């Protein structure tokens, strides 16, 4: 018997037009979150600060874990990204 892993489909249809998604529907973050940044014609900055790695194309909206484009689809990676992101959330709230 042979099982083949066919990948997963992110539940992000409802985010179309709100956040930058990759061609498979995963949410782009950080440097990948805007076409200009991907093309290297814009600095990955929001206002006066560099764009954080887990920030989506919408400032102060973050994505981590499996739904994030380019993430390692594993439990430990999702937990690590979530914990690393919390400090970014606190910083965003402090700046708001
Ligand atoms: C069959 C299978 C086997 C796996 N085996 C392993 C393994 O052995 N080791 C390993 O490390 N990883 C394994 N993985 C991967 C691991 O499960 C994921 O990497 C991990 O669960 C990702 O965590 P997450 O929190 O990013 O996403 P998830 O665990 O998928 O959590 C996302 C949650 O968001 C909810 N949700 C989705 N859309 C919405 C919405 N619109 N509104 C509100 N809630 C929503 C979902 O119901 C879900 O509860 C496996 C995955 C699969 C499918």
7: in domain: no
pLDDT at residue 35 is higher than 90: no
Residue 33 lies in a domain: yes
The answer to whether residue 80 sits within a structural domain is yes
Interatomic CA distance for residues 45 and 43, integer angstroms:
5
- 13, 73, 81, 86: which to mutate for ligand 1, most atoms within 8 A of CB? 73
pLDDT confidence tier of residue 82, bands split at 50, 70 and 90? very high
φ, ψ dihedrals at 53, nearest 5° = -60, -35
Number of domains forming the structure of the chain: 1
Question: Using 50, 70 and 90 to split pLDDT, how confident is the model at 44?
Answer: low
> Has residue 71 been placed in a domain?
yes
Atom of ligand 1 nearest to the CA of 65: 26
Read off the pLDDT of residues 49-71 as tens digits, 9 standing for 90 and up: 667 899 999 989 999 999 999 99
- Domain residues for the domain of 33 are 13-95
How far apart (Å, rounded) are the C-alpha atoms in residues 27 and 19?
7
Pocket of ligand 1 (CB under 6 A): 8, 11, 65-66, 73-76, 78
Write down the pLDDT at residue 15.
96
Contact 95, 40 (CB under 8 A): no
Helices and strands (DSSP H and E) totals, the chain:
2, 2
Distance between first and last Cα of the chain? 55
Instruction: With 0.75 as the threshold, say if the pTM is over it.
Output: yes
């Amino acid at each position: 018997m042979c099982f083949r892993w066919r990948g997963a489909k992110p539940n992000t249809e409802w985010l179309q037009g709100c956040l930058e998604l990759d061609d498979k529907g995963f949410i782009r973050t950080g440097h990948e979150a805007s076409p200009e940044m991907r093309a290297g014609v814009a600095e990955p900055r929001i206002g006066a600060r560099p764009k954080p790695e887990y920030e989506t194309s919408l400032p102060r909206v973050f994505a981590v874990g499996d739904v994030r484009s380019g993430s390692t689809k594993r439990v430990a990676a999702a937990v690590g990204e979530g914990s690393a992101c919390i400090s970014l959330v606190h910083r965003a709230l402090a700046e708001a």
